Amino acid sequence: MAGLRRLLLDPFAVPFMARALVVVVLLGILGGVLGVHLLLRRKAFVTEALQHTVFPGVAVAFVAGQSLLVGAEVAAAVSVVLLHVLTRDDRVDTDSALALLVATFFALGVVVVSRSDSFQSSLTALLFGRILAVDARQIAETALLVVAGAGVLVALHKELLLRAFDPAGGAALGYPVRRLDLVLDLVVALAVVAAVRAVGTVLLVAFLVTPAAAARLWCRGVPAMMVGAAALTALCGWLGLAASYQASVHHGLRLAPGALVVVAITAAFLVIAAATRVRAALR
Amino acid sequence: MNGLADSLGSPFFQRALVEAVLVGVVAGAVGVHVLLRRLPFFVVAMSHATFPGVVIASVVGFNLFLGGSAFGLLVVLAVVALGASKVLDDATVIGVVLAGSFALGVLVLSARPSSSRDLSAFLVGSVLTVTRADLLTTAAVGAVLLAALAALHKELILGAFDPEGAAAAGYRTALLDTALLAIVTVALVSAVPAVGTLLAVALLTVPALAARLWVDRVVPAMVLAAAIGAASGIAGLCLSAAFGIAAGGAIALSASGAFVLSAAGARIRR
Amino acid sequence: MTAAALVLRGVTAGYGREPAVEDVTGRVEQGGSLALVGPNGAGKSTLIKAVLGLVPLLQGTVEVLGRPPAQARGQVAYVPQAEALDRSFPITALQVVLMGRYRTVGWLRRPGPADKALAAEALERVGLAGRAASRFGTLSGGQRQRVLMARAVAQQARLLLLDEPFTGVDTTSTDVLLEVLDGLRADGVAVVMATHDLSVAHLACGDACLINRRQVAFGPIQEALTAERLRETYGAGAVVLAGGSTIVTA
């Protein structure tokens, strides 16, 4: 038992590890609540595309030395609105437009970053984050964004649910459906900004899509799914970070912590998917 | 423009030019079929899916094409297996699998000492480090892909235009589809040294999109797309040398530039 | 004099250049019931959506309880076709009915015990009190349609708009729906339903509006749904049976 405790608890006695865990838990909360809404609205494709379109803004802010928060927020909001508009227009072949947008924006970001001195490490930091380099100030900023984002979603819970389930009924009741959609998109932008420094643009999708998908399979009722998704992220974050630390300190093996957490979340999803099949077969 | 003048003399740059042209030609031509069969999302998804395969193959010393394609296949199977779910939509299942595979690739790479450099090479290409052996491989693979496209030309067109008619006429449409997906995946992997996995989608869709704005028939579109792809490669490399920016990104942006010019040209012509 | 529940004057509505429905004129008093009858694509849904303010009015005016539709939202309840809703959505029957209370509850607030009691009562009224905690998607087509009716009842609206409420619905549910509609009318609630089931239209409604893009007739159902008018609306799709009654196959 002492051995297990050593494995799972000791790493977090180290300040930067504790901070990393706090960030993962925070991101898990927002990712869980938002992720369930995105799932109910079937927005996985747009979320997937978003990681690429948000990249240049993040890159520009990074290279210009400005606060990543501001640059990322602007880029995120712009690309979210752009995607929103593009996917609504029936005349545009959505797939092609998205591919074009994804390719162009991402290339733009790459070119911008390549002007910085440390191209490769800057690139990987922006794409995959630097979860172990999170400082107290970033935690405060992330906490603020998480509270704001999750707060909006909780406040609008019943309206968002109605819109997802019965948009015509919602519109008939007088709810501004398009504006509700925009609010959801903007919370996505908020989540991107909250997550980008810690886990990067590529891995943040995993925090939004996978935990909610796992919770959807296992839990009944929307609030339970949100709690389940957040709990899953927290648990896998804990295990993933601990494993990464142990591998590095005791076995000399460098395993990217952010990536390991995502792999853990995905593994948890696969286990839950299998368990759900078994549960259904046994009924 | 000193950078450019100097570069033109260097053997690295010359090889890079050849590689970029080869990749541009093949990706451009294949790209027309990507559009015909509405596969841009597949390409975006595959670029994430082949990533861990390419990474693992490179770490283990295995053939990149086989590694990338094998992992791509694995991902497709995983998606199909999970996709039977009644509550999760396809895009979500694909998103879960892709995010997981991508993280796996990053994980494997991070274990190596030169990880940042390798990682960015796989993600955005490192065309300036191609060797003569790489060039020969690219040329050979490209030739095989183009030959396959030529051989299956009329069947592919029929399958794209009228899949039910093709099936009715006795063609094994599932086989045809698989063949095309395989061709696209191999083209994607062959573009990795030049522009990396994340930007390969650019060469596989944008030149074809631009070409479709000028011509309406498949073969001329393939020729034009190939030309635009090659031109993007050359332009990108020159821009890269002149302004000190990443070659892969510059090549992709050149392709986008070609599209924007074509779109503007189409407007003017009306 | 109490305002009519619904007044339509020369209503032309639709998207783009081609209106989906043209020049509809008529009124429905409080406690009245109107059947919107016509073939597929005739514009019945469009007309309903125009009353709801979901489709632009190209010409004419709509008045709900003496006011423009936008001001009367809380007073109008929309009952969609149950098939249009996702069966895998994680929501219970009671939660669906509660949605009818949302506007009264307001933004940012949760439905309270009074709202939940109203919702439970509405479910009771459609005979599904025992299925309140069941997931909506696990109910049969008829039961789901009843839940959507209960939602409208819980909203305590003065005008109900129903889009093909009896399509694909079993006889028990049909009976329940008809009974509830009768009860609502006795309370002074007006009902407008789009339907292509003529027998139900006769059973449930006092007035009918026949449309096929343009209005063919609007008035008491016996006068509006004559064989002649039906043939005019449905063309070859109307068949007159021995005994004089007409069925439509469009």
What tokens appear for A111 in the block? Answer: 């070119």
Measured distance CA(B252)–CA(B257) in Å, rounded: 9
The radius of gyration computed from the CA coordinates of chain C, to the nearest angstrom, equals: 18
Whether chain C has a CB inside 8 Å of the CB on A179: the answer is no
> CA of A114, closest CA in chain B: separation in Å?
5
Distance from C-alpha of B25 to C-alpha of A134, rounded to nearest angstrom: 44
Show the tokens assigned to C247: 């069925």
C85 in A contact zone (CB under 8 Å): yes
User: Is the CB of A165 less than 8 angstroms away from the CB of C96?
Assistant: yes
Residues 185 through 224 of chain A touching chain C, CB cutoff 8 Å: 216, 220-222
CB-CB under 8 Å, A121 with B107: no
pLDDT digits (tens, 9 = 90+) for A103-122: 888 898 899 888 877 887 88
The complex's ipTM?
Answer: 0.88
Average pLDDT over residues C129-156: 94
pLDDT band at C189 (very low <50, low <70, confident <90, very high): very high
For residues C228-233, give the mean pLDDT: 81
What is the Cα–Cα distance from B247 to B7, expressed in whole angstroms?
Answer: 13
Give me the pLDDT at residue B37, please.
85
CA A165, CA A267: separation in Å to the nearest integer? 30
Q: Which residue has the tokens 């009306």?
A: B270
Cα–Cα distance for residue pair A23/B54, rounded to 1 Å:
31
Residue range B23-36: mean pLDDT, rounded: 94
Measured between its terminal Cα atoms, the distance across chain B in Å is 37
CB-nearest partner of A225 from C90, C111, C151: C90
The rounded distance, in Å, linking the Cα atoms of C151 and C96 is: 7
Cβ of A104 within 8 Å of Cβ of B249? The answer is no
Please, are residues B88 and B82 in contact by the beta-carbon 8 Å criterion?
yes
The residues near C192 (Cβ < 8 Å, ≥ 6 apart) are C6, C28, C33, C34, C36, C48, C51, C159, C160, C161, C162
Question: What are the per-10-residue average pLDDT scores of chain A (283 residues)?
Answer: 79 92 96 95 80 81 72 75 67 73 88 83 85 91 95 96 92 89 88 88 90 95 96 96 91 90 96 90 84
Check residue C244 and give its pLDDT.
61
CA C171 to chain centre: 18
| Residue C43 pLDDT | 87
Task: Return the domain boundaries, chain B.
Answer: 2-263
Classify B48 in phi/psi space as left (phi over 0), alpha (psi -120 to 50) or beta. Answer: alpha
DSSP classification of residue C246: E
Instruction: Give the chain C residue whose CA is nearest to the CA of A171.
Output: C54
Enter the CATH code of domain A2-278. Answer: 1.10.3470.10
Q: Which residues contact C35 (CB under 8 A, 6 or more apart)?
A: C193, C194, C195, C201, C204, C205, C207, C208, C209, C221
State the average pLDDT over residues B55-68: 82
pLDDT for res A56: 84
Phi, psi of C211 (to 5 degrees): -135, 145
Check CB contact under 8 Å for C77 and A172.
yes
Q: Closest chain A residue to B244 measured between Cα atoms?
A: A115
Distance between A162 CA and the closest CA of chain C, angstroms: 7
In three state form, how does the secondary structure of C182-228 look?
A: HHHHHCCCEEEEEECCHHHHHHHCCEEEEEECEEEEEEEHHHHCCHH
Q: Where are the domains of chain A?
A: 2-278
* Candidates C64, C79, C102, C162, partner chain A, best to mutate (most A CBs within 10 A): C102
Judge whether B227 and B216 are in contact, CB under 8 Å.
no
B55 vs A117: which has the higher pLDDT? B55
For C170, phi then psi, to 5°, come to: -70, 165
- What is the structure's pLDDT at B127? 87
Nearest chain A residue to B117, by CA: A120
Phi and psi dihedrals of B114, rounded to 5?
-95, 40
Q: Packing angle between helix A94-114 and helix A44-53, nearest 10 degrees?
A: 30
CA dihedral defined by C42, C47, C50, C52, rounded to 10 degrees?
Answer: -130
User: The pTM is what?
Assistant: 0.82
Cα of A115 to nearest chain B Cα, Å = 6
CATH number of B2-263: 1.10.3470.10
Give the helix ranges, DSSP H, for A115-221: 119-128, 136-155, 157-165, 167-172, 177-218
Does the CB of C165 have a partner CB in chain A at under 8 Å?
no
- Using a CB-CB cut-off of 8 Å, the residues of chain A touching C73 are 172-174
Domains and CATH numbers, chain C: 6-248 (3.40.50.300)
Contact A172 C91 (CB under 8 A): no
Asked if the C-beta of A283 comes within 8 angstroms of chain C's C-beta atoms, the answer is no
Query: Best-predicted range by mean pLDDT among B170-174, C39-43, C74-78?
Result: C74-78
The confidence score (pLDDT) of residue A67 equals: 66
pLDDT at B1 over 60: no
- Give A209's contacts in chain B (Cβ within 8 Å): 92, 95-96, 99
Q: Residue B58: is it exposed, middle or buried by C-beta count within 10 angstroms (0-12/13-18/19+)? A: buried
Q: How far apart are CA A219 and CA A212, in angstroms?
A: 10
pLDDT reported for residue C240? 65
Rounded Cα–Cα distance for residues B127 and B135 (Å): 11
A253 neighbors B111 (Cβ within 8 angstroms): yes
- H-assigned helices in chain B: 2-9, 11-36, 40-60, 64-82, 90-110, 115-124, 132-151, 153-161, 163-168, 173-212, 218-243, 247-269
C74 touches A at CB < 8 Å: yes
* Pairing of β C190-195 and β C159-163: parallel
C-alpha A193/C-alpha A62 separation (Å) is 13
What is the reported pLDDT for B115?
63
Distances (CA, A) of A4 to A22, A187, A239, B60, B140: 21, 38, 12, 32, 54
Question: Do residues C38 and C12 make contact, with C-beta atoms less than 8 angstroms apart?
Answer: no
Average pLDDT over residues B17-36: 94
C240, β-bridge pairs: C246
Tell me how far apart the alpha carbons of residues A62 and A69 are, in angstroms, rounded to a whole number: 9
